[in-house]
Amino acid sequence: MDFQKLRLTGFKSFVEPTDFEIRPGLTGIVGPNGCGKSNLLEGLRWVMGATSAKALRAGGMEDVIFSGTGTPDRPGRPGRSWAEVSLEISNEDRTAPAEYNEHPTLEVSRRITKKADGTSSTYRINGKEVRAKDVQLLFADAATGANSPALVRQGQVSDLINAKPENRRKFLEEAAGVTGLYQRRHEAELRLKAASTNLERLDDVTGELESQRQVLSRQARQATRYRNIAGHLKKAEALLAYGRWKEAADAVTASEENLKTVLADLEQAVRAAASTNAEREKQHDLVEPLRQKEAEAAAALHRLEVEQQNYDREVARAKADLERLVQTKERLERELAREKDLGSDAAQALEALATEETQLNDRAASEKQRLDDAEREVNAAQERLNGAEAEAEKAQSVLAQAEAERRALTSAAERARQGVARLQGDLQRAEQEKASFEAQGSKSEEIAQKEARLAEVTAAAETAAAALERATADRRRAEEALEGARAPRDAAMAEVNGIQAEVDTLRRILAASEPKGRAILEDISVDEGFEGALAAALDDGLEAGDDAEADQHWSPLGAEEMMAQALPSGAQSLAGHVRAPALLSRRLKMIGVVTAEEGAALAAGLAPGQRLVSREGDLWRWDGYVAKAGAKTAAALRLEQKRQLAAREADLEAAFERRDAAEQALGTHKADLVTATAQVAEARKMNDEARQAAITLERDINRLSAEEQKRQSRSEAISARVADVQERLTIAEAEANEATGKLEGLPDLSRLQDALATARRDRDDARNQNGRARGIRADLRREADARLARLRQIAEQRDGWIKRKETASERTQMVVQTHEETVAALAKAERVPAELEERRETLAETLAAAESRRRHAADQLAGVQSSLVDAERAARTASEAASLARETKARVEAQAEAARERLTLAVERTQEVQEGDPKDLLVLAEHGADDALPDHDSLESKINKLKAEREALGGVNLCADQEMEEIDGRLSEIATEREDCEAAIAKLRGAIGGLNRDGRQRLLDAFDTVNSNFQRLFVELFGGGQAELRLVDSDDPLEAGLEIFASPPGKKLSSMSLMSGGEQALTATALIFAVFKSNPAPVCVLDEIDAPLDDANTDRFCAMLARMAQETNTRFIAITHHPLTMSRMDRLYGVTMIERGVSQLVSVDLAEAEKLAA
């Protein structure tokens, strides 16, 4: 699959949709710091399923969404609520997963959206929503992904340099494809631990279930006792419920007879109350017309009183109006006088303004002439000032030029003299250095001695390397043998653990169910398959012992000859299949073993005391009792468990022997591995010492050769330097003489300084005259401006006084009119109080007559109301009698209702005991209908006693039999689950061993490949030298660290921490690409990886990139600031940030540009 195009929308600083084409060859991304170049790499990693916000330089995943560019004091672009990145992939080679392989192009997108409860990411492939894991697997299958070593971010090179050896191992894991090994192994170990825990839990559950089964056996016997008590309690409760029902029914009959008598008394009282109410209504009808007449008289009287009060208020209001009109008349007279004064003031002000305006206009003619004369004087003074300033500037320029020329010549002469002195010193030091250097000798003889020694050490290093290779092969064979022995040992351990767990479980079960004292069962052994027969035959007797003091025990009776009655034909004696103490011989000889079909036929021929049993647990007794086989009894289970325990203990001994043999073989192989490891360490030490000696000699030879070459070059350089200094000294002496001669020929400066002083005095005089002329002109202009401003003020004031005069005139007319109206109203108001007083006297006479009529109507009403009171008293007495009768009726009805409720409650109680007719309770209680009923107290006492007996039983499990069957089924299921757990444990242990073996082999193969690539790329990048990778800190490759040893040209072999910054960066780059070459990815992104490299190393780095781009189908993207790297790219993309906080992308195809230029 080939990556074609990356599109970012709202991702970090790329707020607008931005397309970045990923084309074959080398693509460069350039731009200033902070413009968003690395956001392209982070967008690519994000769409491929990156989950760490920290790795994306973000505090949280919501930080990848464009957050806006505005600030409180400067608005900008608003933030976005979502971001999306999509990657277009070509699938022309049809290497995509089967689900998408039919599409020639795949588009993978990831979209993140802000929500109230956080953020959520949505992944899509060709528009179909998928899981993040699906996207990660898609890219993992293509040898890339968000954490691929081919995506080198900023700082990753320094992280690799500073990383511990065990952290560098992840590069090998990427190359070997075992990055998921540790996770899978950890998951397998967790499942193994969980399976072991489940096995222990099953053992615990089995013990608990066995304990529960014993408890349930006791509970079943309690349930039988409970049912007997419940039967007696049911009869007593039935008889008590019948007695209470009979009593309630008799009470209902009596209350109904009493209610009939009360109803007759109530009817008579109601008729008497109706007669008295009729008389009361008659008197009431007489009262109402009289009351209406008295109310009408009182209403008429009230109206007259209200009318009299209204006249009083009108009189007061008329007096108040009269007083108000008098005050208004006086106020209007004052306003009229004020308005006349305002009109007079306005006329006087207009006259004064007209006089002032005439005077100002007369002064205008003379001011114009004076202003023109001042303007001409200012122009003349300015011309004189301009001429004087020009003369002063000219004199200043001439003097400055002369002074500058003198300073320059003085400085040149001084520099020339200093240069001569310095060159004389340089010439003396160069001649001394030449003499000292020529006294040193050559190093050719020492170089020849070192080269001879190097040949001897190189031969020794080759011999040590061969020995190391043989020792490494021996150790590898020892490791393989150790791994081969570990699997049988693990299998034997698993077998021992499984059998041990079974034995422990059986022992716990037998111990938990062991009865108090020693049971006879402990001394019995039975043939396999006959456990059910023995348990059916002896039943509870198996729990008894031989202790004569115990409640249940077996006693020796002897005289077995008296029991010589033979068993029925076809029945085998149980004694032949059971080994038991002599105490049981009488019982065992009386029991025969038959099949289930034979038992029913042979049971009739049993003699007294004999029994027949089947191997399944069926029982036929001589007295006709038959018990069919059901779930295994506790005794049968205990017998079977004892037999299983004996068998598994024998198996455990054999398993212990096999485990010990496997342990011994594993120990032998471990010893072989230790020996081989020691041999490898010794061989490696000798090899390292030989190689170190060779490197030291080679470094010494290189150093001596460089020193000899440097000595010769230095000698030639010193001779050339002496000649050069002599030549420059001659030139400097000539320049010093020339500068001194020019300085002596310069003219005197005093004359130029006097001319400049005269010109400055003339300029100052002209400036003073110009200033005085300008001041006079300014004064005249200010006076003219003040006159014009005053004229404008006069015009404005005149308009204001004219308006005031007009307003005063209008206001005077209004006040005169209002005054006349007020005088007329005042005359009218003076007549109103007298008229109102006459009308009030007439109303007083009418009011006295109305009061007389009201008193007469009130007297008549009082007489009739007295008769009404007597009638109401008689009616109330009759009503109280009727009410008393009604209360009696209600009380009797309540008593009858209570009796009926008691009857209903008694019926409900009878239904609780038994549904149907309450009389049927006598049948349930087994009591005759004519027999006398016991009293309630004795029945309740009996019921309480039975309940106490039932309560004494405590909690009774009525489903104990059913629960015992369920527990037996559960025990069977647990046994099956235990077998499954043991099989899973063995399988997981084998899987963990297989993962370790596969991981070690793949890691070693990848190490060889990466080490070979690293050595070749190191030589290519450094132009020589040597380097290698080593697994350190552990003999197990899965736990070992990766250390880098490198020797740049002319330097000693050492680790990376001892190299310079540039050498570290170049070595780390070689390792990154060594891993990359072992498993090339579709795309490789390098973010400023060339930052610490100089030009020469950058050139080699770019050459390696170009070669790898040609050898693979990988598309390389380099984010860089280095001009040399930019020039080696096939195309460049520029990231700019013209708008603050917003990145934009521009591109240029360099290869196409070169074609156009050619």
- In whole angstroms, what is the distance from residue 893 CA to residue 865 CA? 40
pLDDT value of residue 9: 93
DSSP 356: H
Nearest in space to 1000 (alpha carbons), one of 1025, 1036, 972: 1036
Q: When comparing pLDDT for 961 and 379, which is higher? A: 379
Lowest mean pLDDT among 618-627, 733-742, 769-778: 733-742
Domain regions of the chain by residue span: 1-148+1122-1158, 367-437+747-797, 444-493+654-718, 518-649
Percentage of the chain modeled with pLDDT above 90: 5
Report whether 305 contacts 847 (CB < 8 A): yes
Predicted local confidence at residue 559, as pLDDT: 43
Which residues lie across from 151 on neighbouring strands? 1085
Cβ atoms of residues 1043 and 1032 within 8 Å: yes
Nearby residues of 778 by Cβ (< 8 Å), 6 or more positions away: none
Could you tell me if 165 and 1041 are in contact, meaning their C-beta atoms sit under 8 angstroms apart?
yes
Find the helix or strand (DSSP H, E) in which 964 lies: helix 960-1022
Mean per-residue pLDDT, 728-736: 76
Predicted confidence at residue 631, as pLDDT, reads 46
* 1118 confidence band (pLDDT: 50, 70, 90): very high
Most confident of the following: 477-481, 833-837, 864-868: 477-481
Give me the pLDDT at residue 553, please: 64
For residues 812-840, give the mean pLDDT: 74
% residues pLDDT > 70 (the chain): 85
User: Using CA atoms, how far apart are residues 99 and 42, in angstroms rounded to an integer?
Assistant: 28
Average pLDDT over residues 631-649: 65
In a 3-state reduction of DSSP, which class is residue 1149?
Answer: coil
Average pLDDT over residues 397-404: 72
**How confident is the model at residue 365, as a pLDDT?**
67
Mean pLDDT of the region 316-321: 76
CATH superfamily of 1-148+1122-1158: P-loop containing nucleotide triphosphate hydrolases (3.40.50.300)
pLDDT digits (tens, 9 = 90+) for 538-550: 765 665 656 556 5
Q: Indicate if the alpha-carbon torsion angle 203, 204, 209, 215 is positive or negative.
A: positive
Extended strands (E) in 922-1077? 1026-1032, 1041-1047, 1054-1055
How far is the CA of 1084 from the CAs of 170, 642, 1014, in angstroms? Answer: 18, 70, 18
According to DSSP, the residues that pair with 85 across neighbouring strands are: 8, 110
Residue 534 binned pLDDT confidence (cut-offs 50, 70, 90): confident
Contact 23, 1115 (CB under 8 A): yes
User: Minimal CA–CA distance to 1047: which of 682, 752, 722, 697?
Assistant: 697
Return d(Cα 426, Cα 433) in angstroms, integer: 10
Question: For the range 488-492, what are the long-range contacts, defined as Cβ-Cβ under 8 Å and sequence gap of 24 or more?
Answer: 488/662, 488/665, 489/659, 489/662, 489/663, 489/665, 489/666, 490/989, 490/990, 490/993, 491/662, 491/986, 491/989, 491/990, 492/655, 492/658, 492/659, 492/661, 492/662, 492/663
As a whole number of angstroms, the distance between CA 176 and CA 1042 comes to: 14
Predicted pLDDT at 992? 78
Query: What is the spatial distance between Cα 230 and Cα 238, in angstroms, rounded to a whole number?
Result: 12
* Top-ranked range on mean pLDDT: pick from 187-201, 504-518, 913-927: 187-201
Alpha carbons 48 and 968: distance in angstroms, whole number = 55
Q: How far apart are CA 388 and CA 372, in angstroms?
A: 25
Distance CA 981, CA 1150 (A): 67
Q: What is the DSSP letter of 1110?
A: H
Contacts of 516 (CB under 8 A, 6+ apart): none
Residue 1085 is classified by DSSP as E
Q: What is the pLDDT of residue 722?
A: 72
**In the structure encoding, which two tokens stand for residue 495, read together?**
């077998």
Mean pLDDT of 363-387: 76
Q: What pLDDT does 877 receive?
A: 78
**Single-letter amino acid, residue 895:** Q
To which residue do tokens 């992939």 refer? 89
Neighbours of 471 (CB within 10 A): 21
Instruction: Look at residue 327 and tell me whether its pLDDT is greater than 50.
Output: yes
Mean pLDDT within 351-370:
74
pLDDT of 549-602, one tens digit each? 655 567 676 545 445 567 887 787 877 778 877 767 777 778 888 887 788 778
**pLDDT score for 519:** 62
For tokens 């929308």, the residue is 9
- Please tell me the predicted confidence (pLDDT) of residue 27: 93
Can you list the pairs that 344-353 forms with residues at least 24 positions away whose Cβ atoms lie under 8 Å? 346/801, 346/802, 346/804, 346/805, 346/808, 347/805, 349/797, 349/801, 350/798, 350/801, 350/802, 350/805, 353/794, 353/797, 353/798, 353/801
| Beta strand extents in 35-81 (DSSP E only) | none
225 with 1004: CB under 8 angstroms? no
Enter the tokens of residue 1010: 């990466």
pTM for this structure? 0.39
Instruction: Say what the pLDDT of residue 731 is.
Output: 78
Find the range with the poorest average confidence among 553-557, 1017-1021, 1058-1062. 553-557
Query: Residue 85: which of 71, 105, 65, 67 has the closest Cα?
Result: 65
DSSP result, 96-130:
S-TTTTT-SEEEEEEEEEEETTEEEEEEEETTEEE
pLDDT in tens, 200-220: 888 888 877 777 777 777 677
Q: How far apart are CA 1081 and CA 1113, in angstroms?
A: 8
In tens, the pLDDT along 1022-1045 reads 888 888 888 887 777 777 888 888
Query: Which pLDDT belongs to residue 124?
Result: 94
State the pLDDT at residue 1004. 83
What is the Cα–Cα distance from 213 to 118, expressed in whole angstroms?
54
For the cut 70, the answer to whether the pLDDT of residue 137 exceeds it is yes
Give the pLDDT band of residue 85 (cuts 50, 70, 90).
very high
For residues 756 and 392, is the Cβ–Cβ distance under 8 A? Answer: yes
pLDDT tens, residue by residue, 678-726: 887 787 778 777 777 877 777 777 777 767 666 666 676 677 767 777 7
Q: How many CA atoms lie within 13 A of 616 on its CB side?
A: 12
The tens digit of pLDDT for each residue in 45-73 reads 999 988 888 878 888 888 889 888 877 67
Cα(1004)–Cα(1006) distance, rounded to whole angstroms?
A: 5
* Residue scoring higher pLDDT (632 or 271): 271
Higher per-residue confidence, 875 vs 103: 103
Yes or no: say if 1054 and 1017 are a contact pair by the CB < 8 Å rule: no
The pLDDT, as a whole number, for residue 181 is 63
Average pLDDT, the chain: 77
Lowest-pLDDT range, 485-489, 603-607, 630-634? 630-634
448: β partners: none
Which pairs with CB-CB distance under 8 Å and at least 24 residues apart come from 808-814?
808/339, 808/340, 808/342, 808/343, 808/346, 809/339, 809/343, 811/335, 811/339, 812/336, 812/339, 812/340, 812/343
